[in-house]
């Protein structure tokens, strides 16, 4: 199980470093029902990632993620496909990053967060975790890597739960700061929001490129076993 945890740790960090969802949490925390909205978003995020993992692990278990103690070929093929998708997306994002001195545009959907209720915040957290293309690809990759180890189903669930907890640190940090610092958190969160919005494209591009190369490397290793 330790080996499986080691495989998913980098991917979990990649999910945790999600600039726009972190910005969304910051914006929700300054709404009228900030505390409930922030917590609702984090819970939704956790649930969304958990659902993706449950689906992938169930499918992998049914299809057979290992073949006589070796990684199944379809898992390596899936990693290769995911890696190529991430590389292509990373290159496109890198070309679209703001030039030095230019301000990055703020997504229009962020303005709608002001009128969110805790239920809507819960749904937004689920969508931005489980349905977000970047997080979806990384969560699928993590669940596939876990299934490929061939450890028992109970241990697979534990390892994926660890992945989800680590992947939630990014959106959970603003909420912790909000409760720990109270009114003093406003300035810290504002600076965090501004930096994340400005550097969102570059951060995502680097993450996509790094994890794309990693997945392609893992796929090549799997095919050669």
Tens digit of each residue's pLDDT (9 = 90 or more) over 111-133: 677 778 889 999 999 988 888 88
Number of domains the chain contains: 1
Report the chain's C-alpha Rg in angstroms.
18
Q: Which two tokens stand for residue 88?
A: 């292509």
Helix (H, G, I), strand (E, B) or coil at 41: helix
**What is the pLDDT, as a whole number, of residue 215?**
81
Written as one string, the DSSP assignment of 52-90 is: HHHHHHHHHHHH-SEETTEE-HHHHHHHHHHHHHHHHHH
Domain that holds residue 97: 2-224
- Are 53 and 163 in contact by the 8 Å Cβ rule? The answer is yes
- Are 142 and 215 in contact by the 8 Å Cβ rule? The answer is no
pTM of this structure: 0.80
Q: Which range among 63-67, 69-73, 88-92 shows the weakest confidence by mean pLDDT?
A: 63-67
**Percentage helix, strand, coil, to 5, in the chain?**
85, 0, 15
**What is the pLDDT, as a whole number, of residue 107?**
67
Going by the DSSP 8-state scheme, the letter that residue 17 receives in this structure is -
Calpha distance 159→143 (Å, rounded): 9
Calpha distance 35→150 (Å, rounded): 41
For the cut 70, the answer to whether the pLDDT of residue 17 exceeds it is yes
Q: Which two tokens stand for residue 95?
A: 């070309």
Q: Where are the beta strands (DSSP E) in the chain?
A: 66-67, 70-71
Portion of the chain with pLDDT greater than 90, in percent: 20
Helix (H) or strand (E) holding 101: none
């Amino acid at each position: 199980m330790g080996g499986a945890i080691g495989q998913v740790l980098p991917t979990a960090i990649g999910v945790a470093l999600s600039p726009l969802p972190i910005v969304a949490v910051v914006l929700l925390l300054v709404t009228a029902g900030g505390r409930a909205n922030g917590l609702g978003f984090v819970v939704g995020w956790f649930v969304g990632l958990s659902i993706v993992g449950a689906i992938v692990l169930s499918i992998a278990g049914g299809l057979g993620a290992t073949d006589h103690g070796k990684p199944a070929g379809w898992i390596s093929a899936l990693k290769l496909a995911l890696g190529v998708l991430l590389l292509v997306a990373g290159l496109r994002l890198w070309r679209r990053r703001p030039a030095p001195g230019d301000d990055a545009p703020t997504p229009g959907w962020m303005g709608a967060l002001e009128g969110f209720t805790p239920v809507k915040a819960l749904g937004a957290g689920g969508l931005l975790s489980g349905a977000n293309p970047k997080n979806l690809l990384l969560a699928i990759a993590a669940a596939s890597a876990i299934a490929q180890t061939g450890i028992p189903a109970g241990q697979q669930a534990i390892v994926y739960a660890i992945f989800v907890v680590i992947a939630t640190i990014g959106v959970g940090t603003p909420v912790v700061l909000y409760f720990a610092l109270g009114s003093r958190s406003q300035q810290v969160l504002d600076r965090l929001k501004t930096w994340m919005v400005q550097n969102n494209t570059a951060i995502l591009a680097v993450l996509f490129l790094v994890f794309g190369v990693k997945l392609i490397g893992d796929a090549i290793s799997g095919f050669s076993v």
